[in-house]
Structures are given as C-alpha cells and as structure tokens.
Amino acid sequence: MDSVSVKGKAVIIGTGNVGATVAYTIMMNHIASEIVLIDVNKEKASGEALDMNHGIAFFKQLVIREGDYSDCENAQVVIITAGVGRQPGQTRIDLAKINIAIIKEITHKIMEYASNPIILVVSNPVDILTYVVQKESGLPASRVFGSGTTLDSGRFRYLLSRHCQVDVRNVHAYIIGEHGDSEVPVWSRANIAGKPFEEYCEDCPRQCREVNRNKIFELTKNAGAEIISKKGATYYGVSMAVARIVNAIIGNEFAVLTVSSCVANKYGVSGVALSLPSVININGIDRIINLELNKKESAQLRESADKLKAVIDEAYEIN
C-alpha cells in the first residue's frame, strides 16, 4: 500500500535512539499519516521502518518507510535528530563544531528539494544548531525552531506537581533560555490551576516547609545527565516532547510550547536562538508570548543569550 488518508507527512533525519523513538512515538499517537526515515546508514533506516511496519496490523493504518532528501519536498515538518553525542573530555565547542558541520550539510540537502519547509531541530547543542539551520537555510525564523526547553519545562512541571501533589496538567511553569546549563526557571510566572505559585504555597493545606526552589531547579537542569549516568542515553522524554511539537504543527493547534528560535529584540536579546513560550501552528511559530519577567529572570536570560553567542562566535562561520 503506497498511501493512506492524508493527515500529514513527517520526515525524520537520523535514526539513532532519538530519531527512531520519535518515529515510534509519532506513530503510536497517530500524529502523521506518513513517516519517512532518512539516515546515512540506509540499512538502519530501512530496518527501523520495517520493524515498525510489522506492528501496523495491531494499529491504525499509516505509511512508515525509509526515504531520501527528495521526500522533504512536500513534508509538513522535517525533523533533524542526526549528529554525534558529547564524548568524555570533549568541550561544548568541540561538540558544536562537529555537529555544525553535519547539520550544515543536512540543511543544504533539505533545501535542494523543499522550498519553504518547517524544520524542527532536535540534535544538540540544539540552540546553536537551530541558529545554524536558520542561517544556512535562509528560512524565516518562524519556520526553523528547535525542541529547546520543551522537555525541560515538562520536567519542571513534573517536579512541581510531585512536590505539590497535584496533577501535572494543572501546573503551568516554564524553563526559558538555553537548553543547558544557563537555562532559566520562570518562578515569577509559575502557577497552579491559575493561582500564582507563591499564593498557592501560602494557602496550601499541606503546610509543608518552604519549597527548596534551588533543589527543584537543579533536578530539572540535571535530569538529562542523571538519566545518561543511569542508562546511557535519553530518548523517551525528548521523543514525547518532539511528538507534542509535531502534533501542534500538523494539527494546527496554536499550542504554547517553549521551542528555541532565533529572536530579535526580545528582553534585550537579538542574534541568537533560545527558548521562549511560542504559539505553534501549521505555519510554524505564529508568535512569541512576552512574559513579564522579574529583574533577576531578565538578567539571567541575557546571561544565557551571551553564553550561546560566545559558542556561536567561536564555532560557526557563516558561508
């Protein structure tokens, strides 16, 4: 069978742990009607597609197949997960330089076939690579964005929900800035069921001791490293976050997610890609929501941007 009813086509470049799990998560949630896997190792991409195809008999009908860059031409979203992981003793600059070279080549191949794609960057360092893809592709910043701190925000909400013993779906809180060491928790705008976090804590019948905010944030920021130390890699959480973003695009949801994009004149920051709450629909980023940050958070966000700029200046040369 070559086709099914059109719900959207997602192209995934890179079929390592993250890419394959993203494909599986999109399939299980029936977000796209067609999923195309691209990898320099064609046998790996073909094997992953074959493995998932064997489960379609127990699932909704869709197409999953190995493909090539020509499939980017009419895709609703192109997802980049390719790249290398950071090795022991390797600096962020070293990793950035290696993955920048890989992602530049991938971007040029995408643009050979796709005139106005939406490109979702998942590879790390995600903010640096999002900046690179936007510059190399020449696409508007609204159509090139990274998974950013979407997962970090999810982790933050989860930890707050566990502490406060409420459903995580009723916790609204964001991590902004870099997906990494300089990310910023927006405590001033966090709320539970619409009630500001400070007020909620004052009225909470549990009467627990004051929240250790530093501990919750450190657990959020270091969650990826903790998982890697225990099982060697992270891919389930990020795949669910990516699937959520893809669903917002293909489903034209106007969902608010903290994706990373190149910003201009936001909180005094320009010329860098970082995460801010953004409204996502079928055209990409519809708009960025301006949160009222306090002075500390604004300063931390600018510091985060400065650290990202320093990496870009050292690791990336625009053609």
Q: What is the CATH number of the domain that holds 55?
A: 3.40.50.720
Model confidence, pTM: 0.94
Task: Indicate whether 54 and 156 sit together in one domain.
Answer: no
Q: What is the pLDDT of residue 93?
A: 78
CATH of the domain at 249: 3.90.110.10
Query: Which residues have a Cβ under 8 Å from the Cβ of 171 and sit 6 or more positions away?
Result: 157, 160, 161, 164, 190, 191, 192
pLDDT tier, 222 (very low <50, low <70, confident <90, very high otherwise): very high
What value does the mean pLDDT take over residues 140-169? 96
Nearest CA-CA partner of 260 in 294, 301, 219: 301
pLDDT above 90 (res 7): no
Task: Indicate whether 223 and 264 sit together in one domain.
Answer: yes
What value does the mean pLDDT take over residues 177-197? 94
Q: How far apart are CA 98 and CA 116, in angstroms?
A: 26
pLDDT above 50 (res 5): no
What value does the mean pLDDT take over residues 215-230? 92
First to last CA, the chain: 43
Structural domain for 219, as ranges: 150-315
Q: What is the pLDDT of residue 205?
A: 77
Give yes or no for a contact between 243 and 29, defined as CB atoms under 8 angstroms apart: yes
Q: Which of 30, 108, 172, 179 is catalytic?
A: 179
Confirm whether 2 is domain-assigned: no
**Top-confidence residue, 254 or 5:** 254
Task: Indicate whether 154 and 279 sit together in one domain.
Answer: yes
What value does the mean pLDDT take over residues 246-253? 97
Look over the chain and give the mean of its residue pLDDT values, rounded to a whole number: 93
Instruction: Determine what percent of the chain is predicted with pLDDT higher than 90.
Output: 82
Q: What is the pLDDT of residue 258?
A: 98
Q: List phi, psi (to 5°) of 107.
A: -60, -45
Task: Indicate whether 67 and 187 sit together in one domain.
Answer: no
pLDDT tier, 207 (very low <50, low <70, confident <90, very high otherwise): low
Task: Indicate whether 43 and 70 sit together in one domain.
Answer: yes
Q: List phi, psi (to 5°) of 72.
A: -75, -20
- pLDDT tens-place string over residues 135-149: 999 999 999 999 999
Respond yes or no: is residue 179 known to be catalytic.
Answer: yes
Task: Indicate whether 44 and 142 sit together in one domain.
Answer: yes
Task: Indicate whether 293 and 162 sit together in one domain.
Answer: yes
pLDDT tier, 90 (very low <50, low <70, confident <90, very high otherwise): low
- pLDDT tens-place string over residues 63-72: 999 999 999 9
